Amino acid sequence: MSPAESLDLAEFHGDGISAELSAAVHSLAERLPMEVRFHEVDLSLERRQSDAEGSYRDAEKAIRKYGVAIKYPTTTDIESPNKVLRDRFDFSVIHRPVRSIPGVKTRYNGQVDLNIVRIAVGGTYEDAGRRIGSEAAVSVRVIERRPSFQAAKFAFELAQKLECGVCSASKYTIQRATDGLFEEVVTEVAATYPDVHHHAELFDALLAKLIMKSEDYNVVVTPNEYGDFLSDTACGMIGSIGLGASASYSFDDNGNVVLAMFDPAGGTAPDIAGQGLCNPSAAIWAFGQLLEHQGFRALGGALNDAVRDAISAGNTTGDLGGSLSTMEFTEAVWEATAARLIGGVKA
């Protein structure tokens, strides 16, 4: 097997259903026509309670060595592991693909195929605010040029690959200084991608238009809190907040990705942990995104589409009305993957 057919990645284990999600991903990785080497890091609550700094140091060492990581759900106790990792790795952009899934019941009849590119820092989330006496409170909202540039460049690079346009969304007519800076930076980046159409929309209008005609939108770039709202809205439109994955990125000064972490939507689900009941779709999608990011576009795409194939065929876990266990569903995904890679898979 040539070096081009192998991949090393960090694997951040968490809590609850983390072990079962990892087992599903490993089961598929072992049968791909390449060698995938997982380098495990324990980020469980038990480890963090006994040696928090050591656990985060191990995670940082691993991702800086291999450049990419897959992370499973973690319990938030005193601090949020996601925030700690975001700060330590300097993650400034989150990419959340949201696509309609055949076979998943939804109250929305349109088709969603949306890529949300969200600034992961700043906005209102960096400042918890403070009370002013008993009758008022205030918080500071910050928009910075560097993460705005990184998010915009990522969005236009993505749109170029997808052969679509970019919509930037904010409240630039009201938040003239902060959102105005964001839109200014996006416009500057847009000028360097003359082949990619760009337009700006007010964020509240975007939400309404997305519901009325989602097919008009493919790549949307937006400040932090708006991206958070948009992600949950879009996921609600496809029928589940937990069916999806996201990627977090850090960049060099030229806007090139240097670190990437991929993680499934959803939490630790302690009520079903260890019972083989959890749905591994989002974890498999996260792994598929990681493969695509590392240049294995055919394999990553095949895995991502295979999850959709399995669900569309009615092979689902209990949360989607089916009766399959975690590993039974994983096997259904493998069968769909193999069908897409006929002649190029390991037995």
pTM score of the predicted model: 0.92
Using pLDDT thresholds of 50, 70 and 90, give the confidence band for residue 125. confident
Integer Cα distance of 249 and 20 in angstroms: 25
pLDDT, average across residues 324-341:
95
Using pLDDT thresholds of 50, 70 and 90, give the confidence band for residue 1. very low
Using pLDDT thresholds of 50, 70 and 90, give the confidence band for residue 280. very high
**Looking at the DSSP assignment, which residues form a beta bridge with residue 222?**
118
- Can you state the angle between helices 326-340 and 18-29, rounded to 10 degrees? 30
Question: Which among 119-128, 179-188, 232-241, 247-256 has the top mean pLDDT?
Answer: 179-188
Integer Cα distance of 246 and 231 in angstroms: 10
* Per-residue confidence (pLDDT) for residue 67, from 0 to 100: 97
pLDDT, average across residues 229-246:
89
Contacts 24+ apart (CB under 8 A), 314-320: 314/103, 316/103, 316/279, 317/277, 317/278, 317/279, 318/277, 319/240, 319/242, 319/279, 320/103, 320/104, 320/240, 320/279
Fold equal for 1-90+257-347 and 107-237? yes
* Per-residue confidence (pLDDT) for residue 215, from 0 to 100: 95
* Per-residue confidence (pLDDT) for residue 330, from 0 to 100: 97
* Per-residue confidence (pLDDT) for residue 88, from 0 to 100: 95
* Per-residue confidence (pLDDT) for residue 343, from 0 to 100: 47
Every domain of the chain and the residues it spans: 1-90+257-347, 107-237
Arch. (CATH architecture) of 1-90+257-347: 3-Layer(aba) Sandwich (3.40)
Integer Cα distance of 338 and 325 in angstroms: 20
Using pLDDT thresholds of 50, 70 and 90, give the confidence band for residue 347. very low
Q: Residue 159 is encoded by which pair of tokens?
A: 């749109």
pLDDT, average across residues 250-263:
94
* Per-residue confidence (pLDDT) for residue 77, from 0 to 100: 87
Contact yes or no for 180/148 (Cβ under 8 A): no
Using pLDDT thresholds of 50, 70 and 90, give the confidence band for residue 298. very high
pLDDT, average across residues 278-285:
95
CATH number for the domain whose boundaries are 107-237: 3.40.718.10
Question: Which among 5-19, 71-85, 120-134, 238-252 has the top mean pLDDT?
Answer: 5-19
* Per-residue confidence (pLDDT) for residue 4, from 0 to 100: 53
pLDDT, average across residues 50-54:
95
